[in-house]
Structure formats: C-alpha cells, structure tokens
C-alpha cells in the first residue's frame, strides 16, 4: 500500500485521540447532567469526528426512546492535555423508534373527521373554488341593459311575482337573477371542484358498484330519485327510498339497487266473485213428492187377483 493511499484514508477517518477516547467519565457526567436521573446507560461506542474530537455514545433508558443514544462530544486543543466538553445531545440509533414523517393537516384530514364546533378553512387559491358574481358587472343607470332591468322589475311588480332577493337588490336586476341562480356568493364551485365531487359520488354510488351490477334497473327510471339542481342533475340525483342503501345520498343516474320503484310491483288482491243470486224470494220444497209427479201411479189400474196375486 502506498504512502499516498495511507494518508488519504487517514484524512477521511482519523484515529481517535487517546486522551479524548479515555474521557468516558467526563462524557458520562455531562450526559447525566443533561438527562433525567437514571436514564443514562452503558457506554456503547465512540467515534472520531476529527483531529482531537471524539463522540462518546451511551445507551438511553428513557421510556419512549427505544434505540436512542446519548451522544457526548469532547475535544482537546493542540498540545493541551485537558479534555473539554463540546456538545451533549440525544440522537436516534439505527433501530430507534422514530415519529412518522410530518404531514400537513390539509393532507391528513379525511371525511368524517370534523366534529361539532370544528372550523375547516379553505385556501385563498383553492382549485375547487372560483370567484362568484361580485356585482362589479352591474350596468350603469343610463345604459340599455339598465332599461331592460327596470322593465323586468316593473313587470315583476305588475305580476306580483315572489322573488327571493337580498335586502340590497331590486326585483328584476342582475343581482336578483344571480340570487335566484345561486351564484351571488363570494366563491362558487369550479369545474375542477365539481369534477372531484362527481368522482367521489360515482365511486360510492355509481354504475361500477356491486349493488348496481346486480340491480334490476337504474336510478334514472326510479320514482324515488329526486333530481338535483345545476349542471350535476345531468348525472346525479338524491335517493328518497328509506329502505334503499343510498337513502338521502347522492347517487349516479346509472346506479341501482333492489329498491327500485318498478323492480317488483306487488299484484293487487283479487276481487271476490259476486254472489250468484237471481231472486230474493223463498222457494217451498215439499217433504214428499206429489201424487202425480212419479212414473208409477199411486193407485193400481185394476184388481190384482186375476194375475194370481194375493
């Protein structure tokens, strides 16, 4: 082995300084001063950190810190015989029990985690939302569109139409129309937000679920389906069958279950046959037949003595 190779390896991993390596008692005293009493265990290792710099490792008996070690670094100045304390810290070992990687709360939150009184803030640039109608596009008082709005307001008053408006809106105005359409809010759902909601609903109550695969018909033809408002009504509705698995839930029009309104219609009970009566009078039936009702006369035709009968 060449001298250059030896010097290169020595520069990378210097040999522990003898005085620093022997300063185990100094390192233990520093660890016990920083830790709670009785939690500093046996001396397990030492590592050379550089010229005249050594780190001593002690076993940690702290509850909840399995596999951790107390690391105490000591150093010595050049040509000095006194070893001084540099640093004391608790570090994890190779088999230490570590906390999981930190995840932001917005990524940890799951459906059903919110409770009474909890507040769920939304980001200012949330991709699921987009700005609603703010009133900035209200026409000027002398514009042609303003005249049309005034005519609509007068027509609404004449027909006594009941419109739900905010206190600051006038009937027939753009703000009134925005209120009716449900768009006069600070933010409304974006197409991205609608798509996320549709994917969730279709995954839980969609055509690919086992219940829908075994259903006799889809929800689009069920009488218990309540249509939704907005663009989602083209693909979703709300189930109103209390015995169905999706009662009160948003279901896809292609979803289905055995509670379909036309799946098994119960037959009507048969009507009893009417009584076969053609009269209401009472018929008299004699106990004995009449004399002239039989084929044999009741009285003999002649004397039976001529025939040898007695």
Region 43-66: what's the mean pLDDT? 90
Among 51-55, 116-120, 193-197, the range scoring the smallest mean pLDDT is 116-120
Check whether 12 has a pLDDT greater than 50.
Answer: yes
- What pLDDT is recorded for position 31? 92
Flag the least confident range among 10-19, 61-70, 248-257.
10-19
* Chain segment 237-251, per-residue pLDDT in tens: 999 988 888 899 999
Residue 22 contacts residue 46 (beta carbons within 8 Å) = no
Token pair, residue 272, equals 């009893």
Tell the burial category of 163 from Cβ atoms under 10 Å away from its Cβ (0-12, 13-18, 19+): middle
Instruction: State yes or no: pLDDT of 176 exceeds 80.
Output: no
Work out the number of other CB atoms within 10 angstroms of the CB of residue 202: 19
Q: What whole-number distance in Å separates Cα of residue 89 and Cα of residue 33?
A: 11
Q: For residue 48, what is the enclosing H or E element?
A: strand 40-50
pLDDT at 137: 56
More confident residue, 187 or 144: 187
Q: Tell me the pTM.
A: 0.42
pLDDT tens by residue, 136-163 = 555 555 555 555 555 655 655 555 555 4
From 198-202, 272-276, 305-309, the region with the lowest mean pLDDT: 305-309
What does the pLDDT read at residue 11? 53
Predicted confidence (pLDDT) at residue 253 exceeds the cutoff of 90? yes
């Amino acid at each position: 082995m060449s001298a250059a190779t030896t010097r290169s390896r020595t520069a990378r991993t210097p040999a522990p300084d003898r005085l620093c390596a022997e300063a185990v008692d100094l390192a233990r005293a520093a660890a016990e001063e920083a830790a709670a009493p009785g939690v500093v265990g046996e001396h397990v290792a030492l590592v050379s950190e550089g010229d005249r710099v050594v780190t001593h490792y002690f076993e940690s008996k702290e509850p909840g810190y399995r596999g951790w070690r107390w690391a105490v670094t000591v150093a010595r100045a050049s040509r000095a015989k006194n070893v001084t304390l540099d640093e004391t810290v608790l570090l994890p070992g190779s088999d230490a029990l570590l906390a999981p990687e930190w995840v932001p709360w917005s990524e940890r939150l799951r459906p059903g985690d919110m409770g009474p009184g909890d507040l769920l803030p939304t980001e200012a640039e949330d991709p699921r939302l987009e700005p609603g109608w703010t009133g900035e596009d209200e026409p000027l008082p002398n514009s042609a569109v303003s005249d049309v709005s005034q005519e609509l307001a007068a027509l609404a008053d004449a027909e006594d139409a009941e419109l739900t408006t905010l206190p600051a809106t006038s009937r027939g105005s753009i703000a009134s129309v925005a209120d009716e359409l449900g768009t006069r809010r600070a933010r409304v759902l974006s197409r991205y937000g609608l798509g996320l909601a549709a994917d969730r609903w279709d995954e839980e109550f969609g055509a690919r679920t086992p219940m829908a695969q075994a259903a006799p018909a889809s929800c689009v033809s069920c009488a218990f389906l309540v249509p939704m408002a907005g663009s989602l009504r083209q693909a979703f509705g709300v189930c109103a069958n209390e015995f169905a698995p999706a009662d009160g839930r948003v279901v896809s029009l292609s979803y289905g279950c055995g509670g379909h309104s036309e799946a098994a219609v119960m037959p009507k009970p048969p009507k009893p046959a009417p009584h076969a009566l053609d009269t209401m009078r009472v018929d008299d039936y004699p106990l004995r037949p009449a004399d002239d009702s039989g084929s044999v006369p009741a009285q003999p035709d002649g004397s039976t003595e001529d025939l040898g009968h007695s």
